Amino acid sequence: MMFKSEKKMRAALSVLAVMFGASAPVSSFAQEAAAPAPADGQAQAAGAPKLGWYKTCSKQEDNDICVVQNLILANGGQLVTAVGLISVTGKINRKLLQVSVPTARLIPPGISMQIDGGKGQKLDYAVCLPDKCTAEIPLTDAMIASLKKGSDVIFTSINFRRAPNPIKISLEGFTGAYDGEPVSESKLAESQRSLQEGMQKKAEEARKKLEDAQKAAKAQ
């Protein structure tokens, strides 16, 4: 992100930390997001538990930062897509839409955003880290209005095999999250615990199925 001063740059990096650090499940996502990205065939993460749309707010130096976000994770907890609408007010006043996807992406195409099958809008990548690539675009009132009226939004990145990876995210609950109050720390922690428990349950089910299959194979 291109700010004109070092202080603004620090604030921008703090925004990234709020969106993709503190907002993630406390005890699992921070570690598991660094794991290898899910295979493209798993990109839709069918059946993976979700938190849905929610808003968090915090104070960063002289700025108030609110992020309306949605995290899509694979069943193993790896990042599939993270979306954040970031509003910074105070000494800095700026609104951004940021989208993070796994690494191994082609950079020039960026990420395409398409609401309800409408015309796609390109988000250019701003930074790629070892565990994710993040694209961003200024957040406008027209964009917010389209998201509020929409049914779903599709974010499409292009992987290193030059294959598109579309991820559809329901916009149900978006308006309530955007216009409503931020979630409390206790409620967010409770949701995160439920998310982690759901992941652990699915991992245990997958492990048991594998063990049963191995036992059946040995019995033949």
- Looking at the DSSP bridge assignments, the partners of residue 97 are 85, 137
pLDDT for res 18: 38
Domains identified in the chain and CATH numbers: 6-219 (2.60.40.1880)
Per-residue pLDDT for 151 more than 50? yes
Q: pLDDT tens digits, residue range 49-81? A: 457 899 999 988 899 999 999 999 887 778 899
Beta bridge partners, 69, equal 54, 84
Helix (H, G, I), strand (E, B) or coil at 195: helix
Continuous segment of H or E residues that includes residue 143: helix 141-149
Strand partners, 154: 114, 168
Distance of CA 206 to the CA centre of its chain: 24
Q: pLDDT tens, 81-98? A: 999 999 999 999 999 999
Q: Using an 8 Å Cβ cutoff, are 183 and 56 in contact?
A: yes
As a whole number, mean pLDDT of residues 143-159 equals 97
User: Which residue, chain included where needed, has tokens 């979700």?
Assistant: 50
> According to the model, what pLDDT value does residue 10 have?
41
Indicate the average pLDDT of the chain. 77
Q: How far, in Å, CA of 147 to CA of 50, rounded?
A: 19
